[in-house]
Amino acid sequence: MPRHSGGEPLRPIEILHAAETGIGGVNSVVIGLGQKQIGRLGEGSVHVLVPRNHAAEYAGTGIVTHVFERRSRSVRSFVAFTFCLAGLLLKLRPSFVILHSSFAGLAGRIVLALFWPWYRPVVIYCAHGWAFTMSVSAQRARIFAGVERVLARLTSAIVCISEAEYHAAIRFGLPARRLHLVPNGTPRPDGAPCPTPYPRLDGTINLLFVGRLDRQKGIDLLVTALTNAPFLPISLTVVGRAVTDPVKLERLSNITYIDWLRPQDLAPYYAHADAVVVPSRWEGYGLVAAEAMSFGTPVVASRIGGLATLVEDGVSGFLFDPASASELHDVLSGLDRETLMGMRTAAFRRWEQVADIQDMERRYFILMQSLAANGHRVKEIASAADIVGSQAESR
């Protein structure tokens, strides 16, 4: 076991992830990153706090799961999260706390500030999409940004998941010295053969949408485009459900709705789709696009946020302006299976270049080493960076 200069053994590193939800893109990031961290630090080193009704998502991941009660985003859920996090901090005293989303970032940093006189871990915060870049009024955007600037003082590092998120943070006055660009990533598929879940009708293009059926994700834009073009040879499969801001959707004969699927059950849908559509109105990164491209599936996406740089227009997919009702219609009308098939290699290569979770975990590892070495650490640990480095070298 590593020892500090006094010769006393140092306690093992523990990482605590905390999130307000255990489904969707944030959940995928936490599981993927957590499993890579376990591979580096060992079993029992990574913990997560998520809602009780989402805990099943973590079964078999190796991540130690803790739960709080949450039925919706409410004051009651906020209080439950706060008390459960405080209890875990007292029990585990983790070396690193990684807060995911604005809800966890607000509650978590307030709680951690109360512990500062006795215990100060490395605190990393990732908004997974800034509230001040969403479709809100200018006044609300200024308020959200002001809150983030205040809370930044209680944070060792703020992770931005795309270049667009980083530049937005700078533009709204967040301290540049705390901002770190760590693009999201997704795991490499296992490559196991799987049968197609789609009926193969001659000339039909199989499109896939994965995500919340909420206004942010733009599913209504996609359904409207198909409603206005009933003769397009397109079959759409929608995987997900409404969570926070549901929209009314037409029930068309060429659209199939499926509830959330586990990653292993979702894989055949990604692998065999002709294209995945990500029509978000705002998006910090666009994890669904990265997941699709890891299977070599091209993406039709909004030209916003991280999607605008992840998808190469005309190479690994197509981009459109979500504010233009005609652009998405024009893109869908111009799709053909031969062109999409020709994009598959480029889509996979793009994923390898910019969205492999190995690179995301490596960047987190380097960031955590740097923070620990520069004094952002639990007082009982003389050099968390030495522990991380020595344990990594032993593997």
> In this predicted model, what pLDDT tens digit does every residue of 48-105 receive, in sequence order?
999 998 888 899 999 999 999 887 777 888 899 999 999 999 999 999 999 999 999 9
Q: What pLDDT is attached to residue 335?
A: 95
d(CA 215, CA 195): 32
pLDDT score of 180 more than 60:
yes
Token pair, residue 78, equals 């906020």
Residue that the structure tokens 């998006």 belong to: 283
How many residues appear in the chain? Answer: 395
> Percentage of the chain with pLDDT > 70?
91
d(CA 87, CA 78): 14
What totals of helices (H) and strands (E) does the chain contain, helices first? 14, 13
Q: What pLDDT is attached to residue 341?
A: 96
Token pair, residue 39, equals 């591979």
Q: Domain 205-354: give its CATH code.
A: 3.40.50.2000
Residue that the structure tokens 């952002």 belong to: 376
The dihedral formed by the CA atoms of 319, 321, 324 and 329, expressed in degrees to the nearest 10: 10
Crossing angle (nearest 10°) for helices 287-294 and 344-354: 120
Q: What is the mean pLDDT of the chain?
A: 88
Residue 340 to residues 39, 191, 274, 293, 336, Cα–Cα distance (Å): 36, 20, 6, 12, 6
- The burial class, CB within 10 Å (0-12 / 13-18 / 19+), for 207 is buried
Q: What pLDDT is attached to residue 3?
A: 34
**Which pLDDT tens digit goes with each residue over 321-332?**
998 878 999 999
User: Same CATH topology for 15-185+356-393 and 205-354?
Assistant: yes
pLDDT score of 389 more than 60:
no
8 A C-beta contact, residue 269 and residue 197:
yes
Which of the residue ranges 201-205, 255-259, 341-345 would you say has the lowest mean pLDDT?
A: 201-205
In the chain, where are the structural domains located? 15-185+356-393, 205-354
Mean pLDDT value across residues 342-354 = 97
Q: Which fold has domain 15-185+356-393?
A: Rossmann fold (3.40.50)
8 A C-beta contact, residue 168 and residue 306:
no
- The alpha carbon of residue 36 and the mean position of all alpha carbons in its chain are separated, in whole angstroms, by 15
**Residue type for 225, please?**
A
Non-local CB neighbours of 193 within 8 Å, separated by 6+ positions:
none
8 A C-beta contact, residue 131 and residue 144:
yes
DSSP 274: S
Ranked by mean pLDDT, the top range of 59-73, 310-324, 363-377 is: 310-324
CB atoms within 10 A of CB 87: 13
Phi, psi angle pair for 33, to nearest 5°: -65, -45
d(CA 78, CA 379): 28
- The alpha carbon of residue 192 and the mean position of all alpha carbons in its chain are separated, in whole angstroms, by 24
DSSP 47: E
